[in-house]
Amino acid sequence: MTSRPAPTPISAPKPALLSDLPPVSALFLIEFDVKAGYTITWKKAAPGISLDGAVEYKSLPSGLHTVSQDLIYFIHEGEYAGLSAFINAKTEEEATRNARMIAVGVLVPLSYGRLGRSWRHAEGLREMAMKLAVENKDLSILETYWEKNKAHDSMSPSAEPPKESPPSSPSVTFQPGATQSQFRKRTGSDAQALVPPGHQLSPFHPAWSLSDLLDTFGPLIFPIHRAALLRKRILISTYAPVHQACDFVYDISILSNIPLSLFDLLDPTAPAQRLRPLFNIGVNDIAFLSEDAAAAVSKKRCASSASASHSEQSSLPEQAAGSGWVACTTDSILAMKPDLWDMLITMPAPHTAGAKERVWPTIELPGHVPVRATQRDLRRFRSLRAGIIRLARPMSARSERPGTSSGWSAATAVAKSDDDSLLADAVDKVVEPTTWAALAYSGFMWWASAGEQRRSEEAEEVAQDSSLLADLASAPSPRRRGSSVSGGVSGHLAKNIAVMADSVMSLPAAGQMNIGDSDVAAIEAPSQQSELGDAVDHTEEERARVELAIIAYFRRLTTQMLTVLGDLVDSIEDGDDEEMDETETTEDSPLNQSDDGDACLVGSLHVDSDALARMGLDVWSDADVAFVKEATACYFARRARVESKAVEVCGLRVC
């Protein structure tokens, strides 16, 4: 597993990092007592907030005694984002077993974003924790921090401070080919989430880990993304430290956002536009997870009870129970309770980082059903990785300059990504093998068309992946600055690849990219820095562009999949819909329905292999067929009859 880039040294924080801190609703100090365990020894909180019996368990997951420091994110009472800085310092006191373990944490209203922008407090919290680990008698620094940053009495989590903009498409308009729903598409961006220059992104911002996310999961990121789109309950079982796992929770949540431009396409009963990130959870959360699972079942039954419930479903708050979530835990007992989760991701043990052969994360469904990436996912990941390399290469020359103290450089990223052993290893361990039907089809089409059909399909696929990367990869000429992307998923390969002439360098000089998510769009380049600081700032701007390109890529992938389904829904005429309902009567009878939620589905949708290909899915994969069926039910309230690819001879399906 790739280690997290080294943050800026705490001893010399930059003034910009501590500016614009979100107000704190609670501040607390937790210490480990050899007899009583973790206890809250100091606390301040706004009226109505209860800390005892909750934050000490959420702030300090199992296994922290094996690490020297950590940052832990969590959610408290569904209204507050929590962040604690843990320090494990050696001492000479035998009474404490020669170790002093403390954590300093805060609660911030979630109205400021997925994490309430609590990461902006990470610098100060870790600094206080390090001081208190040495001088545990002087608690004045906690009093000072509380008085300086506490929330005013007029503030509440339900109030609306700087509200987070709803997710939207990237600033560059993406059109996945000519579609019947273009008249409903909005040009440009649906929301402005730009941050004025003069600020700098905290080195603890979770979005910095997006490159690590791709490096850690490889092609597996795509089945995770699809599960997140279906609003599944995704649990990451990991080891201490949990900082990176918490960052991955954040990343999975933002990559699965539904762009605002798609809202007109979707059924009113579509799930929440965001997947709930719960961050660190533990044994004490089992009761909550059980209640949430029961709420999900109840919500399905309510959805099928009456059409009047549609409006109620669309007004559910993002934090409503039963709407799916993503979280991480170090308590292995949660992994042993498959009724609490829909997808389990097990991270490799820390000691495997130095192994000769890479140890990949494993993904499974309840019942020990393994999940692997498809062959299409592997090809798509190669394309994404190549695009990131193209984006990073022009920056590498500027990154290699004296005085750059950052732990990241574009040149380093390129060198790491150029190693093809990553994907060679992935083929055998985390990717589904090529099916016999796919092999037979490939051989037959090569023989029947002298290879022309196969080359045409490969060209279409490359063009489709290129359209997702358009304006995100470097190009030789910036003459088309500010133009919109119109690359479709079909047509001649040369025409579609030409779309990539747009460069990410056409972004504003401040490095701002409108992603439509205020806690992510805060990535920007600082201004008026010293010569040394300017070198670091250039590097951070380059990193920011890579991370934002990844976000834009997955937003476009989401748009591509849901737009194809939306166009199929639009194309159904009333007569065709009724006829298909009659043919589906037997298949969709109550005996064959998987759950109560099927009762609320209105009509059927035929999805052929061409539509699967336009969605960027694997036409030979049963898992992708199942995804389309679930996505059609979730987002369009229809049953889907999916036809995967097959080998046909004289109109007869042979395999």
User: Which H, E and C letters describe 250-314, residue by residue?
Assistant: HHHHHHCCCCHHHHHHCCCCCCCCCCEEEEECCHHHHHHHHHHHHHHHHHHHHHHHCCCHHHHHH
Tokens standing for 161? 């401070």
Higher pLDDT, 606 or 597: 606
State phi, psi for 280 to the nearest 5 degrees. Answer: -75, 130
Tokens standing for 393? 């290469």
Considering only CA atoms, which of 429, 9, 520, 401 is closest in space to residue 218? 429
pLDDT one-digit tens code per residue, 619-646: 999 999 999 999 999 999 999 999 876 5
Contacts of 459 (CB under 8 A, 6+ apart): 492, 493
Phi-psi domain of 523 (left: phi exceeds 0; alpha: psi -120 through 50; beta: other): beta
Tokens standing for 644? 């995967």
Higher pLDDT, 578 or 230: 230
Higher pLDDT, 397 or 457: 457
Residue 452's pLDDT is what?
57
Return the sign of the alpha-carbon dihedral for residues 241, 244, 246, 248. negative
Residue 454's pLDDT is what?
58
Query: Is the bond preceding residue 241 a cis peptide, omega within 30 degrees?
Result: yes
Least confident of 17-31, 250-264, 548-562: 17-31
Q: What is the mean pLDDT of the chain?
A: 73
pLDDT one-digit tens code per residue, 62-97: 999 899 999 999 999 989 999 999 999 887 776 566
Residue 502: which pLDDT band, with cuts at 50, 70 and 90? very low
Contacts of 307 (CB under 8 A, 6+ apart): none
State phi, psi for 353 to the nearest 5 degrees. Answer: -60, -30
Beta bridge partners of 362: 346
| Inter-residue contact 403 to 415 (CB < 8 Å) | no
Residue 596 has pLDDT above 80, yes or no: no
Residue 200's pLDDT is what?
54
Beta bridge partners of 82: 74, 107
| Inter-residue contact 617 to 561 (CB < 8 Å) | yes
Residue 13: which pLDDT band, with cuts at 50, 70 and 90? very low
Higher pLDDT, 601 or 193: 601
Considering only CA atoms, which of 540, 539, 541, 533 is closest in space to residue 504? 541
List C-alpha distances in Å: 361 to 219, 358, 370, 620.
11, 10, 11, 24
**Across residues 5-10, what is the average pLDDT?**
39
Higher pLDDT, 106 or 540: 106
| Inter-residue contact 352 to 362 (CB < 8 Å) | no
| Element spanning 652, H or E | strand 652-653
Residue 249 has pLDDT above 60, yes or no: yes
Higher pLDDT, 213 or 423: 213
**Across residues 31-44, what is the average pLDDT?**
86
pLDDT one-digit tens code per residue, 330-375: 999 999 999 999 999 999 998 887 788 889 999 999 999 999 999 9
Among 198-202, 469-473, 476-480, the range with the most confident prediction by mean pLDDT is 469-473
Residue 258's pLDDT is what?
95
- Alpha-carbon Rg for the chain in angstroms: 25
Considering only CA atoms, which of 359, 384, 373 is closest in space to residue 473? 384
Least confident of 72-86, 241-255, 452-466, 608-622: 452-466
Least confident of 136-145, 309-318, 420-429, 579-588: 309-318
pTM of the model: 0.79
Considering only CA atoms, which of 504, 612, 623 is closest in space to residue 564? 612
Amino acid at 575: G
Residue 654: which pLDDT band, with cuts at 50, 70 and 90? low
pLDDT one-digit tens code per residue, 88-104: 988 777 656 678 899 99
Residue 314 has pLDDT above 80, yes or no: no
Distance (Å, whole) CA 370 – CA 344: 10
**Across residues 369-387, what is the average pLDDT?**
93
Least confident of 157-161, 318-322, 417-421, 422-426: 157-161
Distance (Å, whole) CA 330 – CA 239: 5
Contacts of 344 (CB under 8 A, 6+ apart): 235, 237, 335, 338, 363, 364, 365
Distance (Å, whole) CA 34 – CA 91: 14
Return the sign of the alpha-carbon dihedral for residues 124, 72, 210, 419. positive
Residue 59 has pLDDT above 50, yes or no: yes
Residue 616's pLDDT is what?
94
